[in-house]
Amino acid sequence: MARYTGPVCRLCRTEQKKLMLKGDRCKSDKCPLNKKRAAPGKDPKSRSGKRSEYGIQLREKQKLKRMYGMLEKQFRLFFDRASRMPGVTGDNLIRLLESRLDNVAFRMHFASSRSQARQIVSHGHVMVNGKVINIPSYMIKPGDVVEVKEASKKCVTILEALKEVSKSGVYPWISLDIDAQKGTFVSYPERADVTDLADIKEQLVVELYSK
């Protein structure tokens, strides 16, 4: 199972945007962007000039891909699938990304970050419709019930992550029972409802891959 294993804070510094790859740490003073750390590499100021159209599109694609913890080949497969679906390709892409099991577990606050959600899914802590699924990229459909399996309901990591519900609430396309550690994927999200991606311009990703 391919995944990025390097320093994730470096990715945020590259994009000069909080990609929320480390959960609570990203919200703390320990975040490198709060310390105004420059982009990685030698003499980053020399690369801070005006970007080309391709450069802007590439950076937008890299941000979206990294936020969901995906490598290029898998991300491209998701785009190809979105482009074959009826409707707006960019909106379809977001819906598909939001339907991944690791992302749904993250949205249900079973984990504080997508990488942590990927881990708890891989370790077999999560069930879909009563069956343990350990594939992070498993696609969830409307009506599917996602829950923490009984033997894992006292897991400290999951219990700590669930405390975030009182602060940030639950997204409108998800129904969550905190006490039962169970949620339902009610529907595919509308693009406007995915508020933490408000500054992502997925149309630029579509333009990049359509060349």
User: Mean pLDDT throughout 10-29?
Assistant: 56
Q: How far apart are CA 78 and CA 68, in angstroms?
A: 12
Residue type, position 122, single letter: S
Name the residue with higher pLDDT: 25 or 159: 159
The answer as to whether 36 is a domain residue is yes
- Whole-model pTM: value is 0.82
Q: Are 127 and 56 members of one domain?
A: no
Q: Are 203 and 173 members of one domain?
A: no
What CATH number is associated with residue 205? 1.10.1050.10
Question: Cβ contacts of residue 193 below 8 Å, gap of 6+?
Answer: 171, 172, 173
Mutual angle of helices 72-84 and 202-209, in 10-degree steps: 90
Round to the nearest angstrom and report the end-to-end CA distance of the chain: 29
Tokens of 29: 């003073």
Q: Taking the CB of residue 78, how many other CB atoms lie within 10 A of it?
A: 20
Q: Are 79 and 144 members of one domain?
A: no
Q: How far apart are CA 59 and CA 150, in angstroms?
A: 41
Strands (E), 135-205: 145-148, 174-177, 182-185
At 93-110, the pLDDT tens digits run 999 999 999 999 999 999
- Is residue 30 predicted with pLDDT exceeding 60? no
- Is residue 179 predicted with pLDDT exceeding 60? yes
Give the containing element (helix H, strand E) for 132: strand 131-132
Q: Are 182 and 113 members of one domain?
A: yes
Q: Domain limits at 25?
A: 8-97+197-209
Q: How far apart are CA 107 and CA 104, in angstroms?
A: 5
The answer as to whether 2 is a domain residue is no
Q: How confident is the model at residue 190 (pLDDT cuts 50, 70, 90)?
A: very high
Give the pLDDT confidence score for residue 167 in this predicted structure: 82
39 burial level (CB within 10 Å; 0-12, 13-18, 19+): middle
- Is residue 34 predicted with pLDDT exceeding 80? no
Give the pLDDT confidence score for residue 31 in this predicted structure: 57
Name the residue with higher pLDDT: 182 or 14: 182
- Is residue 2 predicted with pLDDT exceeding 80? no
The answer as to whether 1 is a domain residue is no
- Is residue 73 predicted with pLDDT exceeding 70? yes
At 129-152, the pLDDT tens digits run 999 999 999 999 999 999 999 999
Q: How confident is the model at residue 183 (pLDDT cuts 50, 70, 90)?
A: very high
User: Mean pLDDT throughout 150-158?
Assistant: 95
Please give the backbone phi and psi of residue 48, each rounded to the nearest 5 degrees, phi first.
-95, 10
Tokens of 49: 């000039």
Sheet of 145-148: strand order equals 131-132, 126-128, 145-148, 182-185, 174-177
Above pLDDT 90, what percent of the chain?
A: 64
Q: Are 77 and 129 members of one domain?
A: no
Q: How far apart are CA 66 and CA 172, in angstroms?
A: 24
Number of domains into which the chain is organized = 2
